[in-house]
Structure 1
Amino acid sequence: MDITALPSLSDFYEGADQWREVLSLLPVLVLLEVVLSADNAVALAAIARSGNAPERERLSLNIGITLALVLRIGLIVVAQWVLQHPWVQLVAAVYLMWLVFDHFWQRNHKEAEIESDDQDIKKMPRGLVKTVVLLAFTDLAFSIDSVAAAVAISDQVILIVTGAIIGIVALRFTSGLFIRWLDEYPRLETAGFLAVAFVALRLILHVVLPFLNQPDWLTLIVVLVFFSWGLSIKKTETMIDPPHAG
């Protein structure tokens, strides 16, 4: 999700035609971006985390999210074209659903391997280039609907680009935070991908049934419920760092 997808703030946006007025909204934009990008951040954290090396994770996040910013700005430029071709949003929704199915299939496959072989199975880390591309296009899929909605609400490119930059900065920090939390909260990754699935289904309904009213506050509540459940259980210290035998 993205702050610019909230039509309830459109009255503020329409009056923000000067930098002073835009800057006065930045604290609100930052706060809402952090909350609304949680599902996106968990998906990106899970993709970056597959390398299991902190330096590699930071490098892939930095490069991938920088590329994502370039793609978001490019999307803003062609947003009117996206509005005229709803199938682009449908492709984005299908991609997000593929991410969800691939995540749960990979997890179940790994659990089955561990049960059948009592050895320490180490997964080969995904290549840096592939990780960066996945990060950038995953963010793009999340952004298609929200950027199109923002352009439909307002033609103020400065405000839309400002929102995109704030979103990317917030996403970088929340993704890094979620990488650490994924090791501490066993339910968080599942909660994040359930939220991704919900956003994808919402986008499909928007394309197939455009007349159906989908209030943004409902999406926000559903996502908050998922993440409240995901953060409800934390691993104990003994689970994270078991004592060594004498």
Structure 2
Amino acid sequence: MLDRLLDMSPTLGGDTLLLLPVLIMLELVLSADNAIALAAIAQGLKTEELQKQALNVGLIAAFVLRVALILTAGWVLKYWQFEVAGAAYLLWLVYQHFTSKSDDEDSSAPKFDTLWQAVPTIALTDLAFSLDSVTTAIALSKDVLIVLLGGTIGIIALRFMAGLFIRWLEIYVHLEDAGFVTVAFVGLRLLVRVINPEWVPPEWIMVTLIFSLFAWGFSKKVEESAVVDSKVSLMTEKAETEPLLAASEEKQPETT
């Protein structure tokens, strides 16, 4: 993302440190949908303590993979297969999320039995997102140290954001769905870039769509949903019981 912003960046000469604020902003913008996906994955563990441990350990592993990606970016960018693999993985996560809701079992039930089942999923998910953010950062600056510093700050921000989203996912009804739709956008963006870079939609369209989805995600709290569901349940129960009561009264014998 933010390709247009990067294109408008002035020539910075030898003072590459001036690029750091741009890279930090880039990482923060790209971390929002990533953070929701990681928070939803961590929620698959049974306890809050395990969720925190999964994020801590998973993002340490993600940082190692991110560094490896930055150091080998010149080689990785030569092969479109990496972006296709990243896109396929993200779209698979989206498919898993939405199809699990149609299962008979409770979709909120823990998806992982142990910490070490969740950690690889967190690390690989961040790596798939990094194919988008790191390749954009490399296009901005060839200074590996600056890109590494931006990536490090991005991981730290991602950890705090994911922690917040774990709590928010319990409060806002549509937030998880909104997050995974944005994950689908990132996956499709990677895929379209491989097929034909000219087909990639303008940045302002992507940003507008993502902000709109987040606005929808934060539009309804669980308490509001619970009240509505309770009212609907009571109305349904009343509609079902009234005919039975009426029939029962008709069958009662008259007393003299």
Confirm or deny a common fold (TM above 0.5). Answer: yes
Change (3 A) 1:64 1:37: same
Residue pairs, 1:30-109, within 5 angstroms: 30=24, 33-109=27-103
SS of the aligned residue for 2:198 comes to: coil
Q: Deviations over 1:29-61 (max 9, x none)?
A: 545533331111110000001113111011110
- Asked which structure has the greater CA Rg, the reply is 2
Aligned-residue Cα RMSD (Å) equals: 2.7
Q: Which amino acid aligns with 1:81?
A: W
Change (3 A) 1:161 1:29: same
d(CA) in 1 for partners of 2:163 and 2:144? 29
8 Å contact kept, 1:90–1:203: yes
d(CA) in 1 for partners of 2:189 and 2:65? 22
How far 1:22 sits from its partner (Å)? 5.0
8 Å contact kept, 1:13–1:154: no
Match of 2:18 among 18, 21, 24: 21
8 Å contact kept, 1:36–1:220: no
Change (3 A) 1:92 1:14: farther
Q: Which residue number corresponds to residue 118 of structure 1? A: none
Instruction: Please report the TM-score for the alignment, with normalisation by the length of structure 2.
Output: 0.79
Q: Which amino acid aligns with 2:86?
A: A
Change (3 A) 1:8 1:122: closer
d(CA) in 1 for partners of 2:101 and 2:200? 35
Instruction: Please report the TM-score for the alignment, with normalisation by the length of structure 1.
Output: 0.82
Q: Where in structure 1 are there 5+ consecutive unaligned residues?
A: 115-120
Q: Which residue number corresponds to residue 168 of structure 1? A: 155
Q: Where in structure 2 are there 5+ consecutive unaligned residues?
A: 231-256
Q: Which residue number corresponds to residue 113 of structure 1? A: 105
2:218 is the alignment partner of 1:221? no
d(CA) in 2 for partners of 1:89 and 1:124? 27
Q: Deviations over 1:2-39 (max 9, x none)?
A: xxx5352356485274475356x2xx654553333111
d(CA) in 2 for partners of 1:237 and 1:96? 31
Change (3 A) 1:173 1:54: same
d(CA) in 1 for partners of 2:16 and 2:197? 34
How far 1:166 sits from its partner (Å)? 1.3
How far 1:71 sits from its partner (Å)? 0.5
d(CA) in 2 for partners of 1:190 and 1:156? 37
8 Å contact kept, 2:38–2:125: yes
Identity %: 43
Q: Which amino acid aligns with 2:132?
A: D
d(CA) in 2 for partners of 1:189 and 1:166? 24
Q: Which residue number corresponds to residue 142 of structure 2? A: 155
- Larger RCO: 1 or 2 (CA < 8 Å, sep 6+): 1
Change (3 A) 1:126 1:15: farther
d(CA) in 1 for partners of 2:70 and 2:225? 48
